[in-house]
Amino acid sequence: MNSTRHLSAVETAAFVDGTLTRGERETVELHLSECETCRTEVAECARISAEAPRQAIGRRSWMWVGALAAAILLLVVLPGTRRIASDPAHERGSDRNAVVILSPLTNAAIGRADLRFVWQADERSAGYRVFVKDSTGTTLWTTEVADTAIAPPLTVTLRVGTKYFWRVDALRKDGTLGQSAETAFEIAPH
């Protein structure tokens, strides 16, 4: 993907929905690591998708719902958000404590070799602490990083079909802590 071109609504939806091939996902993740605009759009689409009521519809239908949400986001929500965010009075009153998860999203099933945790940057952060827990709440792995993406080492044992949870804490320069939601994922068979 050309880094000067932004993600299309369909690419954004497919990334949020988890329907990209491994190569496509790696290309999108590389672009997201370089493009704040697209990271913001993916984060907002992921939030919209997570808040949408879940019904028994197929993955293909969710892709189109995601594409529609991305299109609405591009046309309506983000232009207004950019105007509001530039207002200093709004900045003082806003609560920016949450770190936004980009991948894997809630209840995603992902191959162990493809597992990579990605989140949106917190501009006040001096670094991040990543946690992976099992279903009992026991921490299986934790690390501190400066980047907004990391793959757990293969020495961390994660079993196929088992539900795990992950979250990210932003370690802010002023000593405060921003925290993501705890997000479930499972390891898919090869």
Parent domain of 26: 9-90
Nearest CA to 42 among 81, 79, 78, 84? Answer: 78
Q: Do 105 and 84 belong together in one domain? A: no
Q: Identify whether 3 is part of a domain.
A: no
Flag whether pLDDT at 6 surpasses 70. yes
Is 123 exposed, middle or buried (CB count within 10 Å of its CB: 0-12, 13-18, 19+)? exposed
Q: Identify whether 1 is part of a domain.
A: no
Q: According to the model, what pLDDT value does residue 82 have?
A: 38
Residue 70 CA neighbour count, 13 Å, CB half: 26
Flag whether pLDDT at 136 surpasses 70. yes
Domain finish residue from 61, 90, 119: 90
Flag whether pLDDT at 97 surpasses 60. no
Q: Identify whether 4 is part of a domain.
A: no
Distance CA 2, CA 189 (A): 32
- Token readout for 31 is 């672009």
Flag whether pLDDT at 134 surpasses 90. yes
Domain finish residue from 90, 110, 132: 90
Counted domains in the chain: 2
Query: Between these two residues, 124 and 65, which has the higher pLDDT value?
Result: 124
Q: Do 57 and 81 belong together in one domain? A: yes
Distance CA 62, CA 67 (A): 8
Q: Do 121 and 83 belong together in one domain? A: no
